[in-house]
Structure 1
Amino acid sequence: MLRICLVALSLAAAPLAAQTPEPRVPESQAEISLSFAPLVKEATPAVVNIYARRVVQSRSPFAGDPLFGNLFRDFGGRPRVQNSLGSGVILSEDGIVVSNYHVVGQATDIRVVLNNGAEYEASVLIGDEEADLAILKLEDAGEMPFLPLRDSDTVEVGELVLAIGNPFGVGQTVSSGIVSGLARSGTATGNARGYFIQTDAPINPGNSGGALIDVKGRLIGVNTSILTRSGGSNGIGFAIPSALVAQFVDQARAGNDDFERPWAGMTGQPVNADISESLGLGLPNGVLIADLHPQSPFAEAGLEVGDVVLDVDGQPVNTPPEMLFRMSVRGLGHVARIRYLHDGAPQEAKVEMIAAPETPPREAVTLDEDAVLPGLALARINPAVGAELNLPLPDDGVVVTDPGPYGTRIGLRPGDVLRAINGRAVEKTGDVGRLLKRAAPRVRIDALRGGGRVSLRFRT
């Protein structure tokens, strides 16, 4: 009885302030295990809902049909409005927002809604479909709440994380989990390719573009996709690392409309056990250089075909997407430190991060209305053109950049490398119009497409 009384007296004597502590971010593991509420309260104002609209041209049901395609080419091709829903993260107090490209890319109307109900119009400053990232600017924004970026290279497997977004449009939602994997490449769905942080924090449709934060409220990644068979979360989600987000913000503030990646000028492949054994290496790691362009900065730095790139700026690379990610994070105009193996011996080199050169000149040509294929746009292949159209090495010859309406009908596609017209070699962009007229009315175009050969025949 005495013990009970003493406890009661002790509680009664406790000061009022100690009974109602001020909310704060949890700092210890013990505090984190009690509640994420203070952290969520601090972070969620910077995570926004995004509503985007774009006008798309619906496809005719007869498109591509050899019999009815031309007869009904205008049937069903009416514009329609397509809506998308996703999330975004405010990164600065002046209203810079990051989201996914598949949420806001090519949108004509973007509306951003904060968790307090405030709405803003937004415009895309820079976007990239391959990285699936877009940087927006809120119009007439005052002082905005924002999340600080943490260097994603410091993230470790097993760290506690929160995913914040707007899944299924139900409203802002928070889910918790851990970082379950790093250096995940080639595993995300859609057009995104590269390097990802993997998490088991539940991510669902509508979470795209939302925040993946650590226990201090810092952004470590932008949620982009899930691995699923049913369409729901199975506990395997992917986030684009904050290091790449930082590069996008820097280029957007510099006034770039498109994201510029450093050009490697090489093709490579992961070193597996068989390759490692054949080269007399130890554990299978690194990227084997399979081909090098003469203008490649790696060739300029002394690397050769058969060398194995081990790391970029001290960060290991085991796949070509990881290597491209590391180069993109380093950024154009900088120098990366490369560690590699040459004849089995470790070497180091400094490689300049450059844009794909425009040498030789692209000599772009668009055929006029009097041509056999009016509107057909062509370019001489150089490193810049090859990078834009994702052409394999070696890159030479004449490539289709836009088939135009008539070229599309006969089956030409962007990226087709023209080799011959009715058996006559295509060497320059200026050759194409002349050779087409000489070949009419029965024309055969021989081209390379994705490494394979195609032959297109038509009558004028």
Structure 2
Amino acid sequence: MFLRVCLLLSVLAAPLWAETRIPQNQGEISLGFAPLVKEAAPAVVNIYARRVVEQRSPFADDPFFNNLFRDFQKRPRVHNSLGSGVILSNDGIVVSNYHVVGMATDIRVVLNDRREYVADVMLGDEEADLAILKLRDAENMPHLSLRDSDTVEVGELVLAIGNPFGVGQTVSSGIVSGLARSGTATGNARGYFIQTDAPINPGNSGGALIDINGRLIGVNTSILTRSGGSNGIGFAIPSALVATFVGQARDGKDQFIRPWAGMTGQPVDADLSDGLGLKAPGGVLIADLHPISPFATAGLVPGDVVLGVDGEPVNTPAEMLFRMSVRSIGAYAQISYVSKGRAKEAEVAMIAPPENPPRGQVTLSSREVLEGLTLARVNPAVLAELGLSGDGDGIIVLSPGRSGAKIGLKRGDLILGVNGKEVKAPSDVGQLLRKSGRRVRIDALRGNRRLTLKFRI
């Protein structure tokens, strides 16, 4: 009996620096995680999201079949999603996944004591797969505190709390099985994750990954699986990024603003490491720098290798972006790097993507040929809004509008010319369309593919 108690105590114990609470009596030992779950579970909620979308007919752009099937077009469809969330404050701030609540028109949050609240999205970001919600008329809410995810170590005991398959709140246990996982999550989420073997299943998305002191270390977001069920490889978005999201939401931001690096880079593998004269593979090689990049301003140049951000190593562009994203806009990050074989450090400003050159955004009016077409000049801020990388110049489509979509234009297309005349400013497009005759030709670029769109007015 004494041996079993000692073994259980050793399992429940965590590193001394984590201020682990050791079970105080035989009753707590026999209950296992029950006291912890009883304290943390009320802050984990079920989320029911609903959105109405118009179903577009596949024949909408066909001049013949469009008339035949016009009665079957634009039928609304209701999409329902089920997931989990975590209350983070007394006044009802909730974090969940974007893929659970993104674009929802109706969000209902249910606590485990069956109280229900209507929620509104304060801030959402599809790339990070995070959304911050606010419960209406909420006060004195149960909530979890955030632990700095940089203090988490592989091997720590963790609990995953959520609503898998809609069966009700469920708790599963495991350990942190990996850190700094990047590019391994499914769906739209990209970046840096905590890996755990605690079972995570559909419906757990947005739920809590907590340590044995009941502090939130991550938001469960995805799994790697071939069968659709948990195979012991799950991913959680670190709490450090969640804290940054909450801060921006409270500041009134409705879109997450990432610090702008103004660079392209690649991981340094063994071959690159030998070529660069580095002692070991690691870091991010700067391939290109925008002229007004804050890294360029700090003295870095293409060919330098970024090794760390604020003392934390970075080995992929995703890791580097994560380390920058947890810093506030307006702050400075300490960058360690190697330049021409010499180790150096620099302070780099964390700035929002700049509106340089000015976007000069225009939207064609109802009297124009392509009503609703919205155009802007390419700049870092515009590219960030569209989720595009790189730099360069040109006139880009922010929204094709109904008429633009009919002729084949898409968000993110670059407009090169109208009727053979080069487009140099967003306002040029409307002017050239007004001067065109019955036949119109638009030259555009989609990725690396050149397009020629012809139509008649």
| 8 A Cα contact 2:379 2:391, kept in partner | no
| 8 A Cα contact 2:306 2:335, kept in partner | yes
Matched, 1:194 2:191: yes
- Pick one of 356, 375, 384 that aligns with 2:372: 375
Name the structure 2 match of 1:41.
Answer: 38
| 8 A Cα contact 2:399 2:411, kept in partner | yes
Give 1:34 deviation, angstroms: 6.9
Name the structure 1 match of 2:12.
Answer: none
Name the structure 1 match of 2:363.
Answer: 366
| 8 A Cα contact 1:224 1:238, kept in partner | yes
| 8 A Cα contact 1:211 1:221, kept in partner | yes
Matched, 1:431 2:422: no
User: In the TM superposition, what whole-angstrom CA distance separates every residue of 1:214-269 from its partner, at most 9, and x where no partner exists?
Assistant: 11111000001111122111111110000000011111111212211111111111
More displaced, 206-215 or 409-418? Answer: 409-418
Matched, 1:294 2:291: yes
Matched, 1:331 2:334: no
Matched, 1:219 2:216: yes
| 8 A Cα contact 2:157 2:175, kept in partner | yes
**Cα–Cα, structure 1 residues 204 and 188, in superposed 2: closer, same or farther, change >3 Å?**
same
Name the structure 2 match of 1:282.
Answer: 279
Name the structure 1 match of 2:348.
Answer: 351
Q: Distance in 1 between matches of 2:30 and 2:425?
A: 68
More displaced, 343-352 or 251-260? Answer: 251-260
Give 1:70 deviation, angstroms: 6.7
| 8 A Cα contact 1:367 1:376, kept in partner | yes
Q: Distance in 1 between matches of 2:419 and 2:192?
A: 45
| 8 A Cα contact 1:87 1:165, kept in partner | yes
| 8 A Cα contact 1:383 1:395, kept in partner | no
Q: Distance in 2 between matches of 1:266 and 1:453?
A: 25
Name the structure 1 match of 2:7.
Answer: none
Q: Secondary structure at the match of 1:153?
A: helix
Name the structure 1 match of 2:261.
Answer: 264
| 8 A Cα contact 1:26 1:39, kept in partner | no
Q: Secondary structure at the match of 2:359?
A: coil
TM-score (norm 2): 0.91
Q: Distance in 2 between matches of 1:52 and 1:393?
A: 35
List alignment gaps of at least 5 residues for structure 1.
Answer: 1-24
**Cα–Cα, structure 1 residues 32 and 272, in superposed 2: closer, same or farther, change >3 Å?**
farther
Query: Which residue identity does 1:105 align to in structure 2?
Result: G
Q: Residues 21-60 of structure 1: matches in 2 within 5 Å?
A: 27=22, 35-60=32-57
Q: Distance in 1 between matches of 2:21 and 2:32?
A: 8
Q: Distance in 1 between matches of 2:138 and 2:444?
A: 51
Name the structure 2 match of 1:412.
Answer: 409
Name the structure 1 match of 2:129.
Answer: 132
More displaced, 171-180 or 248-257? Answer: 248-257
Q: Secondary structure at the match of 1:378?
A: strand
Instruction: Give the alignment's Cα RMSD to 1 decimal.
Output: 2.1
More displaced, 255-264 or 147-156? Answer: 255-264
Q: Distance in 1 between matches of 2:402 and 2:180?
A: 42
Name the structure 1 match of 2:139.
Answer: 142
Q: Distance in 2 between matches of 1:164 and 1:194?
A: 22
Query: Which residue identity does 2:394 align to in structure 1?
Result: G
User: In the TM superposition, what whole-angstrom CA distance separates every residue of 1:104-143 from its partner, at most 9, and x where no partner exists?
Assistant: 1222221111111111222111111111111111222221
**Cα–Cα, structure 1 residues 231 and 73, in superposed 2: closer, same or farther, change >3 Å?**
farther
Q: Distance in 1 between matches of 2:302 and 2:29?
A: 51
List alignment gaps of at least 5 residues for structure 2.
Answer: 1-19
Q: Distance in 2 between matches of 1:75 and 1:445?
A: 31
Matched, 1:81 2:78: yes
More displaced, 398-407 or 450-459? Answer: 450-459
Q: Distance in 1 between matches of 2:198 and 2:63?
A: 49
Q: Distance in 2 between matches of 1:64 and 1:341?
A: 54
Q: Secondary structure at the match of 2:133?
A: strand
Q: Residues 105-254 of structure 1: matches in 2 within 5 Å?
A: 105-254=102-251
Give 1:442 deviation, angstroms: 3.4
Q: Distance in 1 between matches of 2:191 and 2:134?
A: 25
Query: Which residue identity does 2:231 align to in structure 1?
Result: N
User: In the TM superposition, what whole-angstrom CA distance separates every residue of 1:343-380 from its partner, at most 9, and x where no partner exists?
Assistant: 12111000010111112211111122333322211101
**Cα–Cα, structure 1 residues 86 and 32, in superposed 2: closer, same or farther, change >3 Å?**
farther
- Pick one of 97, 104, 107 that aligns with 2:101: 104
Query: Which residue identity does 2:159 align to in structure 1?
Result: L
Q: Secondary structure at the match of 1:216?
A: coil
Name the structure 1 match of 2:307.
Answer: 310
**Cα–Cα, structure 1 residues 103 and 392, in superposed 2: closer, same or farther, change >3 Å?**
closer
More displaced, 307-316 or 390-399? Answer: 390-399
| 8 A Cα contact 2:200 2:230, kept in partner | yes
Query: Which residue identity does 1:206 align to in structure 2?
Result: G
Query: Which residue identity does 1:183 align to in structure 2?
Result: A
Q: Secondary structure at the match of 1:82?
A: strand
Name the structure 2 match of 1:13.
Answer: none
Q: Distance in 1 between matches of 2:448 and 2:30?
A: 55
Q: Distance in 2 between matches of 1:358 and 1:73?
A: 43
| 8 A Cα contact 2:55 2:73, kept in partner | yes
Name the structure 1 match of 2:438.
Answer: 441
| 8 A Cα contact 1:287 1:310, kept in partner | yes
Q: Distance in 2 between matches of 1:455 and 1:346?
A: 50
Q: Distance in 1 between matches of 2:367 and 2:123?
A: 38
User: In the TM superposition, what whole-angstrom CA distance separates every residue of 1:305-339 from its partner, at most 9, and x where no partner exists?
Assistant: 11111111011111111111111101201000001
**Cα–Cα, structure 1 residues 74 and 91, in superposed 2: closer, same or farther, change >3 Å?**
same
**Cα–Cα, structure 1 residues 452 and 323, in superposed 2: closer, same or farther, change >3 Å?**
farther
Name the structure 1 match of 2:9.
Answer: none
| 8 A Cα contact 1:177 1:200, kept in partner | yes
Matched, 1:397 2:388: no
User: In the TM superposition, what whole-angstrom CA distance separates every residue of 1:137-183 from its partner, at most 9, and x where no partner exists?
Assistant: 12222211111110000111111111000000000000111111111
Give 1:28 deviation, angstroms: 6.3
Q: Secondary structure at the match of 2:72?
A: coil
Q: Distance in 2 between matches of 1:87 and 1:278?
A: 48
Q: Secondary structure at the match of 2:348?
A: strand
Q: Distance in 2 between matches of 1:459 and 1:277?
A: 59
Give 1:26 deviation, angstroms: 5.5
* Count of residue pairs the alignment pairs up: 436
More displaced, 450-459 or 112-121? Answer: 450-459
| 8 A Cα contact 1:90 1:96, kept in partner | yes
